[in-house]
Amino acid sequence: MKSVTMKMLCRFLIPAMLTLSLQTASAGIIATDQAAAVANAQPDRTLVLAALERNDIRDQLQAQGVDPADARARVAAMSDLEVRTLAGTIGTAPVGADATFLALVAAGVLVWYVFYRK
Amino acid sequence: MSATPTGIGRRWLQWLALALSLTGCAQFVPQTIALRGDWPSGVPRAIELRDVPFFPQTAYQCGPAALATTMNAAGAQVLPDDLVAQVYLPARQGSLQLEMLAAPRRHGLVSWQIPPDYSSLLSELAAGHPVLVLQDLGIGPLRQWHYAVVVGFDYAAGDVVLRSGENQRQVMPFTVFELTWRRSDYWAMVVTPPGVIPANATQASYLPALLAFDRNATPQAARTAWQAFLSRWPGHALASLALGNRLYGERNLTGAESVLRAGIQTHPASTEMLNNLAQVLAEQGRNDEALGVIERAAAQPGSFAAEVATTRAGILQRMAR
């Protein structure tokens, strides 16, 4: 029980600290991300949430077979908005893929074309 | 596609197009129909970007192949194999749209989802930008998502030209292409080097693309991108702040100052720009000026009261030394 609580706490605190340290990288300057979050009517608190969502997406990418280091770099290239959009849809969003199925359909069309068209 | 002789594939597409044009069902291809009466201005009737390279896809990897095609056209030197680890999802054997947008940023390029219509697609091509599209090549209720790159069109002949799968020059009627493209809600993106703004970009739609690019960009690439944005839309608040921050990061304090001043002229009540300008002035040793600016910031009701207070305290500290 205690370790679960601790784990939860750490899951929350570590990204929070990372986020805050990023945001206050140069004292006296308001960072672009910070201003953008406010411009989008998102209070500072959502920065922490965004860090948690990033971890979540990273885990989901790994669950889809992506190498852990790659998953981290892939999430880093996304904007907060993209991370939020992707949350929960990784397993269902369209994925552009190969045309193996198309080859089957084309074969079907070919049969139709040759034997039934006339 | 490999199992399908090109000639036959093309013939059945023509058949389908014929069937469609006979039934005249505008609801199937609304945008093709709309083009008849409303051709986008300034766009020629035929274009083909012949120099766009071609990377044939290997199993399941149309995402990396299509991405490499557009990225190389935008000046990056990258192979599909390099992109597999950046966009491919092994468990789903494909690539997500959002990751297609994210990956070019890691190579110093700006990606942007264009408005979902033929007219935007055609005008991007007219501006020399190949367009990466998501198609559904499935039949009926079955879905077969596929990424391809549109590199040209010939309206008189009714053809759209694509780099697709293993096909270096796939020609598809406008109608058939629309049918396959429509199911992705006309999803399409362009990739440009920083400093080149896509033909259909608007201030509001392009800003998020640059903010996302800014996160991972090198200082110089980010600076180039924001400078182009500001010369198109001068005085934009967030863009001025972003460029100011990049110049500040490079210790170009006078550069940052002039960008912020220009931004403040358009947005006199911007707390964040006033705050950052005050800091930039203070670091040049111009503490009196800095104090005046930060007082203006402190007088604004805004979200950055804590930051402004910190900056102000810092300036007072400098003055006391």
Element of type H or E holding B113: strand B110-113
Give the pTM.
0.83
User: Above 60 in pLDDT, residue A12?
Assistant: no
- Whole-angstrom distance, CA of residue B165 vs CA of residue B55: 8
Contact predicate A99/B165, CB 8 Å: yes
Using CB atoms, which residue from A26, A97, A103 is nearest to B60?
Answer: A97
Give, in order, the Cα–Cα distances in Å from B222 to each of A28, B44, B143, B194, B242.
21, 33, 38, 7, 9
Distance CA B223, CA B313 (A): 30
- Residue B237 clears pLDDT 50, i.e. is over it: yes
What does the pLDDT look like over B59-96, one tens digit per residue? 768 899 999 999 999 999 999 999 999 999 998 889 99
Residues of B in contact with A38 (CB under 8 A): 272, 303-304
Q: Cβ of B211 and A91 within 8 Å?
A: no
- Closest Cβ–Cβ partner in A28, A70, A77 for B314: A28
Q: Cβ contacts (< 8 Å) between A35 and chain B: which residues? A: 238, 241, 272
Q: Which helix (H) or strand (E) holds B167?
A: strand B167-173
> DSSP 3-state helix, strand, coil percentages of chain A (rounded to 5)?
70, 0, 30
Range in A1-15, B92-106, B250-264 the model is least confident about? A1-15
- What value does the mean pLDDT take over residues A42-49? 62
Judging contacts by C-beta atoms under 8 Å, the chain B residues touching residue A42 are none
| pLDDT, mean of residues B250-263 | 96
| Residues in A 67-96 with any Cβ partner in B closer than 8 A | 67, 70, 73-74, 76-79, 81-82, 85-86, 90-91, 93-96
Closest partner residue to B208 among A79, A96, A98, by Cβ? Answer: A79
Residues of B in contact with A34 (CB under 8 A): 272
**Interchain CB distance below 8 Å, B61 and A98:** yes
CB contact under 8 A, B276 and A91: no
**Is a pLDDT exceeding 80 seen at residue B304?**
yes
Q: How many CB pairs under 8 A join A and B?
A: 183
Confidence at residue A65, expressed as pLDDT on a 0 to 100 scale? 93
Q: Which residues pair with B113 in a beta bridge?
A: B189
Answer whether residue B10 shows pLDDT above 80. Answer: no
CB B121, CB A93: distance < 8 Å: no
Pinpoint the alpha helices (H) of A24-114: 32-39, 45-63, 68-76, 80-86, 100-111
Residue B48 CA: distances (Å) to CA of B103, B153, B171: 26, 6, 11
Which of A20, A34, A64, A95 is the best substitution to test chain B (most B C-beta atoms within 10 A)?
A: A95
Residue A48 has pLDDT above 90, yes or no: no
* A32, A67, A109 ranked by CB distance to B241: nearest: A32
- Name the minimum distance, in Å, from the CA of B103 to any CA of chain A: 7
Stronger pLDDT, A13 or B212, i.e. the higher one: B212
Would you say B190 and B78 are in contact if contact means Cβ atoms under 8 Å apart?
A: no
The predicted structure's pLDDT at residue B112: 98
Q: What is the ipTM of this complex?
A: 0.82
For residue range B150-200, what is the model confidence (pLDDT) as tens digits? Answer: 999 999 999 999 999 999 999 999 999 999 999 999 999 999 999 999 999
Calculate what percentage of chain B has a pLDDT beyond 70. 92
Are B175 and B29 a contacting pair, CB within 8 Å?
yes
Q: Please tell me whether residue B47 adopts helix, strand or coil conformation.
A: strand
Contact call for B211 and A79, based on CB within 8 A: yes
- The better pLDDT of the pair B48, A53 is held by B48
Tell me what the mean pLDDT of segment A109-115 comes to.
61
CA distance B316 to A34: 24
| Tokens read off for B95 | 């690539």
Mutate to test the interface with B, among A24, A33, A79 (most CBs of B within 10 A): A79
A102:B101 CB<8 A:
no
Burial class (CB in 10 A: 0-12, 13-18, 19+), B114: buried
B113-122, B175-184, B301-310: least confidently modelled range: B301-310
Cross-chain Cβ contact A82/B2 below 8 Å = no
CB contact under 8 A, B145 and A90: no
Token pair 């001068």 in the structure block, residue: B234
Residue B320: pLDDT band by 50, 70, 90 thresholds?
Answer: very high
DSSP B70-112: HHHHTT----HHHHHHHHEETTTTEEEHHHHHHGGGGGT-EEE
Dist. CA B90–CA A86, nearest whole Å? 17
User: Is the pLDDT score of B291 beyond 90?
Assistant: yes
- Torsion from C-alpha of A10, A12, A14, A18, nearest 10 degrees: 180
CA closest to B10 among chain A residues: A106
Question: CA-CA distance, A21 to A89, in Å (whole number)?
Answer: 30
Distance CA B66, CA B268 (A): 45
Which range is least confidently modeled, B89-98, B202-211, B254-263? B89-98
Q: How far apart are the first and last CA of chain A?
A: 74
Q: What are the phi and psi torsion angles at B204 (to 5°)?
A: -70, -35
